[in-house]
Amino acid sequence: MAHDDSVQADVLISEVGPRDGLQSVQATMPTEAKFRWIDALVAAGVREIEVASFVPARLLPQMADAAEVVAYAVRQPGVTVMALVPNLRGAEAALRAGAHKLTMPVSASRAHSLANVRKTPEDMVEEVRAIARLRDELAPAVKLEAGISTAFGCTLQGLVPEDEVIRLAAMCVAAGADESGLSDTVGYANPSQVRRLFRRLRSELGSRAGAAHMHNTRGLGLANCLAAWDEGVRTFDSSLGGLGGCPYAPGASGNVVTEDLVFMFEAMGVRTGISMQKIIAARAPLAAGLPGEPLYGMTPDAGLPKGFGPFH
């Protein structure tokens, strides 16, 4: 059963595990196992899921079934199905598969952009423009998000000027993106920096300022999400079990753990629309689909405090 639409939510938790998490681990989760995991996420009340990345299968065999997974997920009622697209070809495949929302990573670090996609940030803005045109032609209802990656620093070039980050986000929206959020790709961000950058982003873009995509590489993921919340951000990316690890800090999770993020907000009285028990239960199909893969999360390990509730 899908989530109860009568449950009002104050924040949108966007689950990125089936894309960001799965493409970061060595093993490839079988397609049927992905379906069971998505079902469990939907049953818990998750309303936006990044289910796949449309990249060549030879580069990311974990995503070879992207079109199939999107086609399955869009049959779930009340869920926005999102796909990551690195270029125009990926966007066309995602649109044809029926994705509701496309997210396009645009790196604020010139060094990272060239190493990652062999294009400058300005080249990527032109790619956003081309994708926006294609979207207008094929599926005008589909939302396009430009996520500014390495917005808080980069392992290759170190400091990323804040003016560059804001300028790039504004260029992406001007090129046709519906919104632009900020990603702490390598886990460098701190709460003071998060407040400052999201304040500037919201001042520049208003309602088109998008999600906070934080990593927990140095243990600051939840603190950074709270800092973004304080600045008015209401969409947060996270990954069940912190799936994906982090190549820069062995033993440290990469993405913010969905279960811990939901617990933090619910404990504060901020409604997520997600059932705490059911989101913890969604770890079972994830673990079954990736045997032996470490899962992170303080809340699932510690359990819920006595009297914590009520839950739908």
Catalytic sites, residue numbers: 246
Nearest one of 285, 223, 297, 291 to 254, comparing CA atoms = 297
In this structure, is the dihedral angle defined by the CA atoms of residues 69, 74, 79 and 80, taken in order, positive or negative?
A: positive
Q: How many residues does the chain have?
A: 312
The secondary structure element, H or E, covering residue 168 is: helix 162-174
Do 134 and 92 touch, CB atoms closer than 8 A? yes
Number of helices (H), then strands (E), belonging to the chain: the values are: 12, 8
Those residues with Cβ within 8 angstroms of residue 207's Cβ, 6 or more apart along the chain or in another chain: none
* Whole-angstrom distance, CA of residue 77 vs CA of residue 45: 11
List Cα–Cα distances, 23 to 246, 302, 305, in angstroms: 12, 28, 33
